Amino acid sequence: MEKLIVKGGTRLKGTIPVSGCKNAVLPIAVAASILGDGVSVLHNVPNLTDVKTLQAVLEGLGATIKLKNSTLYIESINHLEYEAPYDLVRKMRASIYVLGPLVAKLGRAKVSFPGGCAIGPRPIDLHIRGLEGLGAEVNVEEGYIYAQAERLVGTEMNLIGQHGPSVGATANVMMAATLAQGTTVIHGAAREPHISDLAHFLNAMGADIEGIGTPTLTIRGVKQLRGTEHTVISDDIEAGTFIVAGAITRGDVYVEGITPEQIPAISEKLVEAGVELDWDANGVRVTTPHEIQPVDITTAPFPGFPTDMQAQIMGLLCLASGTSVITENVHTDRFIHAAELNRMGANIALDGSKAIIKGTRNLSGAPVMASDLRAGAVLVAAGMAATGETVVSRVYHIDRGYESIEKKLNDVGANITRVNE
C-alpha cells in the first residue's frame, strides 16, 4: 500500500490547474456507453481510479472504451450484457448508475447491491422508488438488484429523501426517463453542477430535458440517443480542496479553471473565514492575509455547502482563532477524519451530526490514515500546514478522486513524497 510523506511548514505559491469533474464524468460515461448509439468523445476527463473502475464495469457490459490523455473515446454497446458483477460494483458505488440505463435500453438489469462505505450506509431506496415509478419491477435477491420492464413509461414523481435530494437517484432516474414512453416529471431533483452537466450531455445526445439546474426536471422520452462530443465541467470539489490548501498554508495560489457559480457556498464560507478570493475569468487567486476566523457550517445539497467539502474546511477551521461548529446533514457518518486531525493536535469534539472545532495555534505532523477520498485530502492539507512530518496511509482513497495530488501540490511548493509501504 502506498503512503504520502508530507513535510510541514510549506507555503503554497503558484497556479494549480483543476481537472475534470469526477462526479460528472462517471454518469456521463454510463449514458454514453449504454443509452447512446454510436461513438461519444468526452474531453477534460480526469485520470482517476474511479474512472478506471467504471471503465472496467462498462467494458464488462460490452462497451469499447479508450482513455487517451484526458479524452475518453466510448463506443456504445450493441450486444449489451445486463449484469454488473459484485467484484467491480463493490469498488465503487457509482456503478449503480448502470441500473436505470440498462432497464431503459435492454428492459432488464442485474446489478450487485453497492456496498456502504466509511461515510455511511448509502441506501438506494430512492433509486428503486424512481425506477418503480417508471414501471420497472425491482427485486433485491442474494445481494443483487434485479430490475425489468417491457417499456418504461413516464410519470410524475418526488425523489426527495430523508436527507433531501439524491444526486445518484436523480442521475439514475433522469437517464432512464430519456428513453421512456411519454413525459416524466421529477420533483425534488438534485441540482449539483454535475447533474446539470449530465443533463446537458443527454440533451446533446438527443434527449429532451427541461428545468436543468432547478428542483423540477421534465424529461420527454425519445426513441433514440446518439453518441456526441462533450467537454466535462471542472471539478468544484477539487477546486475547493486546492483553495483550502492555499489558505491553510497561508500561501498565494491561483486555482485555475473554476467559476464562482460552481462553488457559491464554498466561496461564501471561506470569505467569512477570512480567506481572500480574487476572481477573474479563468479562476481565483487565494490569499489569507489575516487570522482564520471561526465559522459555523451546515452541509446541504447544492446550492448549500457541499458535504464533499466538509472535511477540507474542518481542517482549515482547526487553525481558526475561535470555535466553529460543523453540522453534517447529508451523510450519517462523515466525521472519521476528526480523530485523525486530533492526532495532529486539533481540538475537535463530536456530538451526533455536529463537530465542535476549537481553533489551535498550530498542528503537528503525525502518522494518519485516510478513510475516504475527502478525508485523505484534508490530511494532506493539514500536513502541509503542520510542523514536522505527516505520513498519510491508505492513499488509494485519495487517488479515487484526485489526479496526481502530490504532483499538483509539489508544483506549487509542497514537499510530498509517495512511497510504497
- Write out the E strands in 235-353: 252-256, 276-280, 283-287, 297-298, 323-327, 347-351
Supply 59's cell numbers. 467494458
How far is Cα 262 from Cα 135, in angstroms, rounded to an integer? Answer: 35
Specify the DSSP class assigned to residue 372. S
Cβ-based nearer residue to ligand EPZ, 115 or 120: 120
Q: Which residue has the cell 504532483?
A: 407
Shortest distance, CB of residue 106 to ligand EPZ, whole angstroms?
22
Which of 10, 401, 403, 416 is close enough to bind ligand EPZ by CB under 6 A?
A: 401
How far is Cα 327 from Cα 353, in angstroms, rounded to an integer? Answer: 6
Which of the stretches 34-42, 119-127, 338-346, 356-364 binds ligand EPZ when contact is defined by CB under 6 A? 119-127
- The two beta strands, 276-280 and 183-187, are unpaired
Which of 34, 58, 126, 147 is close enough to bind ligand EPZ by CB under 6 A?
A: 126
Q: Does 308 bind ligand EPZ (CB under 6 A)?
A: yes
Q: Of 5, 41, 106, 117, which one is the catalytic site residue?
A: 117
Q: What angle do CA 244, 248, 250 make, to 5 degrees?
A: 115
Which of 284, 330, 363, 370 is close enough to bind ligand EPZ by CB under 6 A?
A: 330
Please report, to the nearest 10 degrees, the dihedral formed by the alpha carbons of residues 121, 373, 243, 14 taken in order: -170
Q: Does 123 bind ligand EPZ (CB under 6 A)?
A: yes
Shortest distance, CB of residue 144 to ligand EPZ, whole angstroms?
17
Supply 203's cell numbers. 440533451
Supply 62's cell numbers. 460490452
Shortest distance, CB of residue 50 to ligand EPZ, whole angstroms?
7
Shortest distance, CB of residue 48 to ligand EPZ, whole angstroms?
10
Which of 29, 80, 94, 111 is close enough to bind ligand EPZ by CB under 6 A?
A: 94
Cβ-based nearer residue to ligand EPZ, 40 or 299: 299
Cβ-based nearer residue to ligand EPZ, 3 or 22: 22
CA 47 to chain centroid: 14
Neighbours of 97 (CB within 10 A): 28
Supply 97's cell numbers. 448508475
Q: Is 318 assigned a catalytic role?
A: no
Which of 161, 213, 215, 264 is close enough to bind ligand EPZ by CB under 6 A?
A: 161
- Catalytic positions: 117
- The residues of the shown chain that bind ligand EPZ, judged by CB under 6 A, are 23, 26, 93-94, 120, 122-127, 161-163, 166-169, 190, 307-308, 330-331, 373-374, 401
